[in-house]
Amino acid sequence: MKVIDTLSQIQNAVITCRRCSRLVAWREESAAKKVRRYSHEHYWGKPLPGFGHTEAKLVIVGLAPAAHGGNRTGRMFTGDDSGDWLIRAMHQAGFANQEVSRSLNDGLTLHSAYITAVVRCAPPQNRPTQEEIDMCLPYLTMELDVLRPPVVIALGHIAFNGVIKYLKHKSAYPGGWQFRHGALYQIKSPYSMSVLASYHPSRQNTQTGRLTQTMLQSVFDTAQTILQQN
């Protein structure tokens, strides 16, 4: 994949991507066969670019768009329960101007934060294959290269592993990291970065109590504290 060195170019490349045939078919099928509650809406039905502040100090890495969330609205973590949990925590910690995000043009503004994902197309059953993850990972690598954020929050195992792969690619991974909610890892070379791990705010986690709003809030409050100390 050609290396792209501006966020706008990366975003444009993501939107036009058709590299994974299974994901292309699923995202387009989901957009065509709308669920009843959104039958009146026009679905985005394309890969989702990252979005947020162009000089973000915090980057949030998710798994992939939801078939009837981001794949519908055209923006990650928008219009579904996962987005509600995430944006609420970001707002409380001072990273977003409002606590609800329902549509692409709802006025949401991120403060020194950028939201992206390991996979940019909605995968069947929210489960991308390893090949699809590896195919899409260069987009995340390019975003992190452009932003060089002091803090990264990885939402879930796959996002956490994606960040580790990025650090390995940059010869910056010290080894020994393990995913657990609230874990904080820090590197100093070749540049300073703090990586926070969190359970993903999926229904599977939030409806079972594995992740509470307080637990998620604590991760974002920690990120804000780190940034204020630097």
* Residue 2 in this model has a pLDDT that exceeds 80: no
pLDDT of 189? 79
Residue 80 lies in a domain: yes
Residue 1 lies in a domain: no
Residue 89 lies in a domain: yes
Number of folded domains that form the chain: 1
Cα separation, 111 vs 103, whole angstroms: 18
Helix (H) or strand (E) holding 186: strand 184-187
Q: Are 103 and 78 in contact (CB under 8 A)?
A: yes
In this structure, what token pair is assigned to residue 112?
């020194």
Question: Following DSSP, what letter does each residue of 191-229 receive, concatenated?
Answer: S-EEEEEE----HHHHTTTSS-HHHHHHHHHHHHHHHHH
CA proximity to 63, closest of 183, 144, 164, 157? 157
- Segment 167-196, tens digit of pLDDT: 999 999 999 999 999 999 999 877 899 999
Cα separation, 166 vs 170, whole angstroms: 6
- Segment 50-78, tens digit of pLDDT: 999 999 999 999 999 999 999 999 999 99
pLDDT of 230? 79
* Residue 1 in this model has a pLDDT that exceeds 80: no
Residue 166 lies in a domain: yes
Domain hosting 156: range is 7-229
Residue 2 lies in a domain: no
Residue 209 lies in a domain: yes
Residue 32 lies in a domain: yes
* Residue 5 in this model has a pLDDT that exceeds 80: no
pLDDT of 3? 61
> Mean pLDDT throughout 188-214?
94
We report the CATH number of the domain holding residue 178 as 3.40.470.10
